[in-house]
Structure 1
Amino acid sequence: MAASYELKASARDRVGKGAARTLRREGLLPAVIYGDKKPALPITISMKETTLTLQKGGFLTHIGIVDLDGEKHQVIAKDFQLHPVRDTVLHVDFLRVAKGATLTVDLPVHFLNEEECPGIKKGGVLNIVRHTVEMTVPADNIPEALEIDLLKAQPGDSLHISAVKLPEGCHPTITDRDFTIATIAAPAGVQETDDEAPEEVAEETSE
């Protein structure tokens, strides 16, 4: 599986809030590598390089390499903490990725042919219920996004996960129902053509 980024790291022997603040003043970020039934490794990484990698997008869905003092670890970022005011990165959690592993990631949903959608052309509005979908995916073939084609969508239509052509080996973590991802809300004054759509949207948004 090809890595999309590589970050240099050093082992971290200082822990606690005071040590973390000192590291950040030095341009470093506290982070940890965990998983794959191995001990967690506290590390430090470059604040600048990590921020640039994060700004490129896909940080939580791309495989990366953390070079820890010459030993390369294949990882995926599972979480990162941002400063509540300055929005700068404060901490990153990396999960080790073993060969042949499967991962659970939140994939963004992209809508195709929105300008040509007949339901929107007739005055309907695209109502997005889920901007992301939690998926189980192979670590060596993580899709960039899920795609839904709106070329035939009409006013009142509900677009479910079954309408998505899923990449090979990818499955939604929700398996007990054909959940809604988006609807084409009918124009004001037009009777809803799918009587179940409003109820289902309410169910999805309440999760």
Structure 2
Amino acid sequence: MNDFYDNDSNCNQSNSAHITVQTYEVIPISTKLGIIEWLDNTRPLKEFIEANYAQAKHDIISQAKPTTKSTSNTIMYAELFISLTKAQVQDEFNKIQSVTPSDLLRRAYYKMTNSYEGFDTLRRQFITSFAVLCTSHYILSIGDRHQSNSDLKLNNFLHPSNLKEALGQMEKVVDGDQTQNKRTQILMQYKSNRCHKLTVDE
């Protein structure tokens, strides 16, 4: 990916930041288990956002009804799929979203800087990093994209933790039309939220 960005003149203009993808190693222990390389000064994006919840908001989330214990996630999801209607799912999602502040990410960046100029710089770096992350995932057809799989450094670069899985993922989607369909599907599946949108727009 870095070679791809290096060879694109639009990514290396003198008046723009150098675009690069930073990853961390996953050391395999078995086919299902691995150790993730330690990265200093990083924090998962999900934790970074959640740290700015007020206690009242944490209480609302923690009071959500726990799912019924089952032998596997597959069975649990099947039970939910059968028992809930689309309207019920939408209502519950909207209820949770309504109590989620839209400026959590912005609050976090305000805490990291002592000036508006500094905040603007951090915001711009995040937007660039987030765009590079999504673009890289789209090109490599990686689907396991969520906030826990992206680490935030103090210099605000996002580390896509699962780019190391790229080759295995690409082997699954190299046949004709399946490639485009898979990429389109994955591109739409990034688990973004209101926090990202409002931070970019404002």
Provide TM-score, normalisation by structure 2: 0.23
* Structure that is richer in helix per residue: 2
Provide TM-score, normalisation by structure 1: 0.23
Greater relative CO (CA pairs within 8 A, separation 6+)? 2
